[in-house]
Copies of this chain bind each other. A is one copy, B any other.
Amino acid sequence: MTEEDADPIRRRPGGRAARVRQAVLTAALEVLAEEGVARFGIAAVAARAGVNETTVYRRWGTREKLVLDAMLAGSTEGIPVPDTGDVRTDLAAFARALADYLATPAGRAVARAAALSSDDPGLAEAWETFWQSRLELAGAIVDRAVGRGELPAGTDTGLALELLCSPLQTRALLGHRPIEPDLPERLADTVLDGLRGRA
């Protein structure tokens, strides 16, 4: 885990094993985006990857683990974190980007997959980490604002991000209420005001 990946499959990047792995994960992401998480099936993934079903079961075991691995491998880019020097602009842009991502089929699929596989504690933790790593980068926006004096010292970065992001996530997960275009801005404004305190 430290200097050499323990997974024997990734040992040789050019080998057949790695090729199969990549094909399956790519296919999984495509199926996820096209069919949604509810109709996501291993048979479809294997067929699209040009790989035998048994192989997928051998390597990933269950549907949930495959979804998780595909997500981890596939969305490495994350949400872009702007840095314009103005905290309001940055937060609004980040919220906008997150909303756009969640409107994507892939984004919807990610959210659903996380929600559905959170029964298994191990998977739940993995999803937790997934979201954490995707969103905590935005903490830099808040931290920089504190550094510039735009926000008071001691500002709770986590709370800020949670207030900003979870309305968007919740809308993507529950029901089908669309995200109005000005919602990211309104969220950013209100959250900023809240963080600055009443005084």
Q: Is the CB of A115 within 8 A of B195?
A: no
Is the interface on chain A under 10, 10 to 19, 20 to 34, or 35 or more residues?
35 or more
Q: Is the CB of B127 within 8 A of A175?
A: yes
Q: State how many angstroms separate the Cβ of A193 from the closest Cβ of chain B.
A: 4
**1/0 per position for A150-183, CB-CB distance to B under 8 A?**
0000001001001101110111011111000000
- Cβ of A131 under 8 Å from chain B: yes
* Residue in B114, B115, B163, B169 whose CB lies within 8 Å of A191: B163
- Cβ of A194 under 8 Å from chain B: yes
Q: Is the CB of B125 within 8 A of A175?
A: yes
Q: Is the CB of A193 within 8 A of B186?
A: no
Chain B neighbourhood of A115, CB < 8 A: 111-112, 115-116, 173-174
Given contacts A162-B170, A163-B190, A170-B173, 20 further A-B contacts (CB under 8 A): A111-B115, A111-B174, A114-B173, A114-B174, A118-B173, A124-B175, A128-B176, A159-B186, A159-B190, A166-B167, A166-B170, A169-B170, A169-B173, A173-B174, A189-B194, A190-B195, A191-B194, A193-B198, A194-B195, A198-B199
